[in-house]
C-alpha cells in the first residue's frame, strides 16, 4: 500500500516540498474530508519540529494518517482481518453480518463494496480490502447513521395531499428578524433548495401598479412580487418534483391582485395549476402528490365554487372583483395573535395612535375583502378557509378548503380537544404558523403539531435552533422531497390515537446507542488551537411519554478525536413519530455550554450497525 500512496502523491512533490495550501489541495484531490482548524494544528505541529513552513512526503504521510487513520477503525479492521493488512471477501461478509446487522448480505454485496471503495488496484483485483478501502467504506453514506434507502423517495406518493406532512416555511422572504430584517430573494431560493413545499408570500400594493412583498407595517425591505415569482419559477422543482404550494398572505387591492394573477400565469406558465385535474369539480378527496408533480398550487381566498371558476375561465372575465365577508374568510395570519390591526394611518399621529387606543375587539373585525376573480380562479385545491371550530368544519368544510391556525390557538385546541383535532387533520390540510409577537422570528416546537397530524407546520426557516433542526431532520426522510407520509393512525378517519393516550397504537422499540468517539469536531470558539471539552446530548422528541434526554461525560481538551465509549438505552412507544437529536456541546463551565454541532433524524430512519 506504500507504493500506492507514493504514486498518488508524488506529482505534487515533483518540485520539492509543499506548504499548507499545497497540503490542502492534495487532501482535496484525494477526496479526504478534513476540518481546516485541525489540519492547521497538525501541520503546525509537524513543521515545529523543523525549520521553515514546508513539509516532505514523509511529513505528509504522517499528517494523512493523523487525519484519516482512526484507531477505532483500526481495531475493527484488525478484529476481522487475517493478517492485520487485508480483509478478504469472506471476512468482510462476516463484518457486515455481525457488526452492521446486514443479515441479507451475501458474497455479491461484499464484492460490490470492495469494487466501490478499495483504492489499491492489486488488492481490488484479488477481491480483497485494504485498511484504506475499509476507511473509505466506513466514512461513506452506506455507513451513515441515516438509512440509505430513505435517501430517495420510497413512500407511497399516491395518497391524498392531506395524508402527508409537508415542509412549510413562514415569512419566507425574511433572512434576519421580522421587524428590521432585509427581505431577500435568497430566502426563497434557499428554502426551495432545502425541499420546502409551502412558501408564504406576504403581498401588498406597490407603486406603478406593481405588487410588492414584505412583512406588513414593519420596516423590512420590499421586493417586487414579480421578482419573487421569477425566483420561484427557477428553483421550484430543483430539489423535489412534488407540488409546491404558494400561500398568499394577500393585502392587495383587486387591481393589483389582477397583476398578481397575470404574473403567476405568464411567469409560471404550464407549471401553474389553474383548473382541477381532469376537469373534475365535484371532489370527495384531494389528488395525490404524484398526480400533482411539477405543479405550483395557489393557496388564497376564493369566491364561489370550482364550477363557477371553470365557466368564468371560458368567458375570460377581466377586471371583475367580488366581495367576500370576513365570516367566510380571514387572512391567514391576521387573527388576534398577530400584528397590529390594519387602520387608516394619518401620518401625523400614527405612532401614538397605535399605542394609546385600546386594541379593537374581535367582533370589529368583520371586514369585507375584495378578491379579483382572476386571482380567485387560480385557487383549486388549496382554498384558505377561516377556521370556526371542529364541528363547523365537519359539517361544512370541503376537502379542498384548508385552515390556518396560529400556534397559540392550536396549542390550546390540542390540549383540550386532541381527538377532534386529529379527526380534523385526517380530512383537511391544516397550517400552523408562529405568532406575530415573535419579533425575533423565533420558532415553536413543531413536534407538538406533527403529533396531531398537522400537515403544514410553518417555521421561520431563517432562524437556526433546535426547532428548525427538527424540521430539517424530519424532512431528510423520503428523499428530502418535502412530503412525508403520515403514520396510518393519523390518516385513518376513525382513529382513536392521541399523543397523550397512544393505547393500542404503540409499537414499542428499544433503542440502544453506543457513543464511541468523535472525529474532527469543531474546536471551541475560546480555544486558540484546536481544542474543546466536548459532551454529547442525545434527545428523543415525540409523543409526550417518549420525550427523553441523556448526556455523556465530558472529554477534556480534545476536539480532534474524543472517545466516550458509553451506551444509552431508550424505550420508544411511538417510533413512527419520534425524532432523535445528537447535539455536541463544549463545556465552557458548569453553567455555560457552547454549541458545536448537531444531527437530527427520524428514529425510523436510523441505520443499524
CATH label of the domain that carries residue 518: 2.60.40.150
Domain assignment present for residue 338? The answer is no
Residue 176 reports pLDDT greater than 70: no
Specify the pLDDT at position 160. Answer: 97
Q: Are residues 53 and 78 in the same domain?
A: no
Specify the pLDDT at position 472. Answer: 96
Please state the separation of Cα 48 from the chain's center in Å: 44
- Interval 14-47: pLDDT, tens: 988 999 999 999 999 999 999 999 999 999 998 8
Domain assignment present for residue 345? The answer is no
Domain assignment present for residue 385? The answer is yes
Please name every residue paired with 383 in a beta bridge, in sequence order, or none if there are none.
300, 401
Domain assignment present for residue 304? The answer is yes
Domain assignment present for residue 242? The answer is yes
The DSSP secondary structure of 585-597, one letter per residue, reads EEESSSS-EEEEE
Mean pLDDT of 154-166: 98
Q: Are residues 308 and 453 in the same domain?
A: yes
Domain boundary among 490, 521, 544: 490
Least confident of 188-192, 237-241, 452-456: 188-192
Task: Name the nearest CA neighbour of 444 among 463, 472, 426.
Answer: 463
Residue 321 reports pLDDT greater than 90: no
Residue 333 reports pLDDT greater than 50: no
Least confident of 71-80, 187-196, 489-498: 187-196
Q: Are residues 205 and 179 in the same domain?
A: yes
Tally Cβ neighbours within 10 Å of residue 603: 20
Specify the pLDDT at position 48. Answer: 77
Residue 167 reports pLDDT greater than 50: yes
Q: How confident is the model at residue 283 (pLDDT cuts 50, 70, 90)?
A: confident
| Percent of the chain as helix, strand, coil, to the nearest 5 | 35, 20, 45
CA distance 129 to 20: 31
Contact 110, 116 (CB under 8 A): no
Q: Where are the beta strands (DSSP E) in 394-506?
A: 401-406, 430-433, 456-457, 483-485
Entry field: residues in the chain: 609
Cα R_g (the chain), whole angstroms: 28
The proportion of the chain whose per-residue pLDDT surpasses 90, expressed as a percent, equals 74
Give me the phi and psi of 226, to 5 degrees please. Answer: -55, -45
Residue 131 reports pLDDT greater than 50: yes
Q: Are residues 181 and 233 in the same domain?
A: yes
Work out the mean pLDDT of the chain and round it to a whole number.
Answer: 88
The DSSP secondary structure of 22-59, one letter per residue, reads HHHHHHHHTT----HHHHHHHHHHHHHTSSSS-B-HHH
Q: Are residues 439 and 540 in the same domain?
A: no
Mean pLDDT of 470-491: 98
Q: What total number of domains does the chain contain?
A: 4
Pairing of β 212-213 and β 198-204: antiparallel
- Interval 89-102: pLDDT, tens: 999 999 999 999 99
Domain boundary among 490, 514, 549: 490
Q: Are residues 98 and 240 in the same domain?
A: no
Q: Are residues 399 and 541 in the same domain?
A: no
Domain assignment present for residue 268? The answer is yes
Pairwise pLDDT comparison (53 vs 335), residue with the higher score: 53
Pairwise pLDDT comparison (367 vs 22), residue with the higher score: 22
Q: Are residues 377 and 307 in the same domain?
A: yes
Specify the pLDDT at position 83. Answer: 93
Pairwise pLDDT comparison (337 vs 186), residue with the higher score: 186
- Interval 379-394: pLDDT, tens: 999 999 999 999 999 9
Residue 318 reports pLDDT greater than 70: no
Mean pLDDT of 168-196: 67
Residue 114 reports pLDDT greater than 90: yes
For residue 217, is it left (φ>0), alpha (ψ between -120 and 50) or beta? left
The DSSP secondary structure of 250-301, one letter per residue, reads E---HHHHHHHHHHHHHHHGGGB--S-GGG----SSPPPTTTTTT-EEEEB-
Catalytic residue set: 170, 215
Q: Which domain holds residue 575?
A: 506-605
- Residue 399 is placed in which grid cell? 376537502
- Interval 208-217: pLDDT, tens: 999 999 865 5
Amino acid at each position: 500500500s506504500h507504493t500506492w500512496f507514493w504514486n498518488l502523491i508524488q506529482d505534487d512533490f515533483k518540485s520539492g516540498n509543499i506548504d499548507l495550501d499545497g497540503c490542502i489541495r492534495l487532501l482535496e484531490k484525494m477526496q479526504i474530508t478534513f476540518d481546516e482548524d485541525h489540519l492547521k494544528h497538525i501541520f503546525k505541529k509537524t513543521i515545529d519540529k523543523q525549520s521553515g513552513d514546508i513539509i516532505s512526503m514523509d511529513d505528509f504521510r504522517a499528517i494523512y494518517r493523523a487525519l484519516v487513520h482512526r484507531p477505532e477503525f483500526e481495531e475493527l479492521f484488525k478484529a476481522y482481518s487475517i493478517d492485520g493488512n487485508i480483509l478478504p471477501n469472506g471476512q468482510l461478509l462476516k463484518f457486515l453480518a455481525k457488526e452492521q446487522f446486514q443479515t441479507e448480505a451475501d458474497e455479491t454485496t461484499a464484492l460490490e463494496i470492495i469494487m466501490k471503495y478499495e483504492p489499491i488496484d492489486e488488492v481490488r483485483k484479488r477481491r480483497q480490502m485494504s485498511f484504506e478501502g475499509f476507511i473509505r467504506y466506513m466514512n461513506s453514506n452506506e455507513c451513515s447513521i441515516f438509512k440509505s434507502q430513505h435517501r430517495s423517495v420510497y413512500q407511497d406518493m399516491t395518497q391524498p395531499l392531506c395524508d402527508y406532512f409537508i415542509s412549510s416555511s413562514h415569512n419566507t422572504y425574511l433572512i434576519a428578524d421580522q421587524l428590521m430584517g432585509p427581505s431577500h430573494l435568497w430566502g426563497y431560493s434557499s428554502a426551495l433548495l432545502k425541499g420546502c413545499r409551502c412558501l408564504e408570500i406576504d403581498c401588498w400594493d406597490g407603486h406603478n401598479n406593481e405588487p410588492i412583498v414584505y412583512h406588513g407595517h414593519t420596516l423590512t425591505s420590499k421586493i417586487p412580487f414579480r421578482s419573487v415569482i421569477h425566483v420561484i419559477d427557477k428553483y421550484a422543482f430543483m430539489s423535489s418534483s412534488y407540488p409546491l404550494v404558494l400561500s398568499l398572505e394577500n393585502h392587495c387591492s383587486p387591481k393589483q391582485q389582477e397583476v398578481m394573477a397575470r404574473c403567476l400565469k405568464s411567469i409560471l406558465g404550464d407549471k401553474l395549476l389553474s383548473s382541477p385535474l381532469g376537469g373534475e369539480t365535484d371532489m370527495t378527496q384531494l389528488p395525490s402528490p404524484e398526480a400533482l408533480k411539477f405543479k405550483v398550487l395557489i393557496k388564497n381566498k376564493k369566491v364561489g365554487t370550482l364550477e363557477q371558476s371553470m365557466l368564468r375561465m371560458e368567458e375570460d372575465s377581466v377586471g371583475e372583483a367580488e366581495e367576500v365577508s370576513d365570516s367566510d374568510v380571514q387572512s391567514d395570519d391576521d387573527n388576534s395573535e398577530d400584528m397590529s390591526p390594519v387602520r387608516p394611518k394619518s401620518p401625523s399621529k400614527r405612532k401614538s395612535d397605535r399605542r394609546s387606543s385600546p386594541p379593537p375587539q374581535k367582533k370589529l373585525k368583520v371586514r369585507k375583502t375584495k378578491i379579483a376573480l382572476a386571482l380567485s380562479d387560480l385557487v383549486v385545491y388549496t382554498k384558505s378557509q377561516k377556521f370556526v371550530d371542529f364541528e363547523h368544519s365537519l359539517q361544512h368544510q370541503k376537502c379542498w378548503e384548508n385552515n390556518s391556525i396560529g400556534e397559540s390557538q392550536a396549542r390550546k385546541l390540542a390540549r383540550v380537544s386532541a381527538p377532534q383535532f386529529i379527526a380534523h387533520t385526517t380530512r383537511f390540510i391544516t397550517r400552523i404558523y408562529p405568532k406575530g409577537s415573535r419579533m425575533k422570528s423565533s420558532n415553536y416546537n413543531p413536534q407538538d403539531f406533527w403529533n396531531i397530524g398537522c400537515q403544514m407546520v410553518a417555521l421561520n426557516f431563517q432562524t437556526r435552533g433546535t426547532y428548525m433542526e427538527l424540521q430539517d431532520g424530519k424532512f431528510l426522510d423520503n428523499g428530502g422531497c418535502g412530503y412525508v407520509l403520515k403514520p396510518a393512525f393519523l390518516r385513518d378517519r376513525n382513529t382513536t390515537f392521541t399523543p397523550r393516550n397512544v393505547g393500542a397504537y404503540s409499537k414499542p422499540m428499544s433503542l440502544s446507542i453506543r457513543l464511541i468517539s468523535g472525529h474532527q469536531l469543531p474546536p471551541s470558539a475560546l480555544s486558540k488551537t484546536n481544542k474543546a471539552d466536548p459532551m454529547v446530548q442525545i434527545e428523543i422528541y415525540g409523543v409526550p411519554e417518549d420525550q427523553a434526554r441523556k448526556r455523556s461525560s465530558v472529554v477534556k481538551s480534545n476536539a480532534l478525536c474524543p472517545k466516550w465509549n458509553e451506551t444509552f438505552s431508550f424505550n420508544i412507544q411511538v417510533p413512527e413519530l419520534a425524532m432523535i437529536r445528537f447535539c455536541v456541546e463544549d463545556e465552557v463551565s458548569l453553567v455555560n455550554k457552547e454549541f458545536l454541532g448537531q444531527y437530527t433524524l427520524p428514529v425510523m430512519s436510523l441505520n443499524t450497525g
